[in-house]
């Protein structure tokens, strides 16, 4: 089940929300856990048992790590716990990739080995591992209430595609949160905005992206390749940011405050900055649990300030960053194109720290932003392409070495008025310009006298309610007539 399906919007969410609002917190937690298991089983069937088993075993492992006093025993328990979680990923997500990379054919019909990848396995496994590491580091005590641990791992707003919340953020909310009318209204608004981003914008642009990426390399022109790359750059942002808005909105409806996941990544002035704005919960997870431990481990093994003429901080930073970004690419998908995408970003970050640092610092800010956006866009081509050959064909076309003559495939063939409108709104929402109108309205209201302030505030709220209603109705109508189009990050 997906947030952007009629079954969720009209059959699942209304009764769950209505019932939860009338339950006390302890009963509500149990009810939300049961609802989350139903939500997961709706789409994944028997794999809900795998999710529940993961929650139970990670709860028990967390208790064992929390009780263990000797450092060696705690470390061994942590390694065993991480091994269990990584084994889930190895079996259900990477087994086919590993075997096919080794040339092993293990399918019943002689084809490649294949196991169904349970939805959200990367997300709920990473959340569980973060919880265990926090317990190991004594950042939080081990949770004694299995209901809280299970709800943290299985909660339906985050189980499929995050955000990757930490238990240090949500643990206290399990027992102390307050579901207020203000949070409910805030959550509904955030959910509707996310739904509109996904259904009205990302899916509209996605149809063009799919069509352009289906064009053979011999039919690509420079303008068509750039169109596909730029529209995919906007589509993946709106698709995933829309999901995050919906998840955060759902959390607030039930009194939870989740971590934010996006902060206008396409206004970044470097790839380093991009990763502080894009998928923030994953970036911070990789920083805290891969990069920093890796850099620290290297630093402990290098005596002095230099080794082989290179400063220790360089030895710590560069290998740890490359490892982190390679794992980031692999996390996104079991394919060599994703590994290469991670390596591409890692190389750019290393170059920015070493060779491009002064150039970027002294460059005109719009030039910095153009560099970052171009680098991200080129990377998204590799991310979207089904193979290195397809990615290379797109890059060749984008840089003027196209094979197409523009007679059969050309941009105007794919750009109708609806797509152009979606494109304009997408660009607006991808930049802080989308906040300009609400901010101007807020300044106008604050600057008015008391009587006018009340009228202006009421008028602004009415306009906001009308716009949100229009977005909700338009999204519902689109869902009623379109085929199911899952969120891009569901495959990760």
Say which residues have a Cβ less than 8 Å from residue 469's Cβ, sequence separation at least 6: none
Nearest 5°: phi and psi at 261? Answer: -120, -20
Contact by Cβ (8 Å): 422, 208: no
Say which residues have a Cβ less than 8 Å from residue 294's Cβ, sequence separation at least 6: 319, 320, 323, 324
Contact by Cβ (8 Å): 230, 426: no
Question: Rounded to 5 degrees, what angle do the CA atoms 435, 274, 359 make?
Answer: 115
Displacement of CA 357 from its chain's centroid (Å): 28
| CA-to-CA separations, 320 to 291, 302, 303, 324, in angstroms, rounded | 5, 14, 18, 6
CA dihedral 195, 333, 48, 191 (to 10 degrees): -10
Say which residues have a Cβ less than 8 Å from residue 135's Cβ, sequence separation at least 6: 62, 65, 66, 141, 142
Give the chain's largest Cα–Cα span: 77
Give the bridge partners for 306, in sequence order: 311
- 332 is known as an active-site residue: yes
Q: Where are the alpha helices (DSSP H) in 306-398?
A: 312-332, 336-354, 357-362, 365-384, 388-398
CA dihedral 289, 240, 32, 133 (to 10 degrees): 0
Active-site annotation holder among 59, 148, 279, 332: 332
Tell me which residues are annotated as active site: 332
């Amino acid at each position: 089940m997906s947030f952007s399906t009629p079954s969720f919007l009209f059959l699942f969410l209304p009764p769950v929300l209505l019932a939860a609002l009338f339950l006390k917190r302890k009963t509500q937690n149990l009810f939300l856990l049961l609802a989350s298991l139903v939500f997961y089983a709706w789409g994944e069937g028997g794999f809900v048992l795998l999710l529940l088993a993961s929650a139970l075993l990670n709860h028990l492992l967390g208790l064992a790590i929390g009780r263990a006093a000797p450092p060696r025993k705690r470390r061994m328990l942590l390694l065993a716990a991480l091994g269990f979680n990584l084994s889930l990923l190895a079996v259900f997500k990477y087994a086919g990739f590993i075997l096919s990379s080794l040339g092993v054919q293990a399918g019943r019909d002689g084809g490649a080995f294949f196991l169904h990848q349970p939805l959200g396995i990367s997300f709920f496994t990473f959340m569980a591992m973060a919880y265990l590491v926090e317990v190991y580091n004594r950042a939080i005590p081990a949770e004694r209430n299995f209901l809280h641990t299970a709800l943290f791992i299985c909660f339906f707003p985050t189980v499929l595609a995050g955000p990757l919340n930490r238990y240090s953020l949500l643990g206290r909310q399990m027992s102390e949160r307050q579901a207020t009318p203000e949070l409910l209204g805030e959550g509904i608004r955030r959910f509707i905005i996310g739904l509109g981003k996904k259904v009205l914008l990302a899916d509209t642009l996605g149809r063009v992206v799919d069509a352009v990426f289906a064009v053979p390399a011999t039919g690509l022109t420079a303008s068509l390749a750039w169109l596909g790359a730029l529209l995919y750059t906007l589509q993946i942002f709106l698709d995933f940011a829309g999901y995050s808005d919906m998840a955060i909105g759902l959390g607030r409806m039930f009194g939870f405050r989740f971590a934010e996941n996006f902060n206008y990544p396409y206004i970044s002035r470097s790839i380093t900055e991009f990763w502080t704005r894009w998928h923030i919960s994953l970036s911070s997870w990789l920083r805290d649990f891969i990069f920093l431990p890796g850099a620290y481990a290297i630093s402990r093994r290098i005596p002095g300030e230099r080794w082989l003429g290179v400063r220790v901080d360089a030895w710590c930073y560069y290998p740890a960053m490359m490892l982190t970004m390679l794992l980031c690419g692999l996390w996104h998908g079991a394919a060599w194109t994703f590994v290469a995408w991670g390596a591409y970003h890692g190389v750019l970050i290393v170059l920015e720290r070493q060779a491009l640092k002064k150039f970027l610092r002294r460059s005109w800010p719009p030039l910095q932003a153009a560099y970052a956006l171009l680098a991200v866009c080129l990377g998204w081509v590799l991310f979207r392409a089904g193979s290195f050959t397809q990615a290379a064909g797109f890059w060749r076309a984008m840089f003027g070495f196209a094979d197409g003559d523009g007679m059969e495939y050309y941009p105007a063939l794919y750009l109708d008025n609806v797509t152009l409108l979606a494109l304009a709104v997408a660009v607006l929402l991808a930049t802080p310009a989308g906040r300009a109108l609400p901010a101007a309205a807020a300044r106008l209201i604050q600057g008015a006298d008391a009587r006018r302030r009340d009228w202006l505030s009421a008028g602004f709220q009415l306009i906001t309610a009308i716009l949100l209603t229009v977005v909700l109705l338009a999204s519902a109508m689109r869902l009623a007539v379109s085929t199911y189009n899952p969120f891009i990050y569901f495959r990760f």
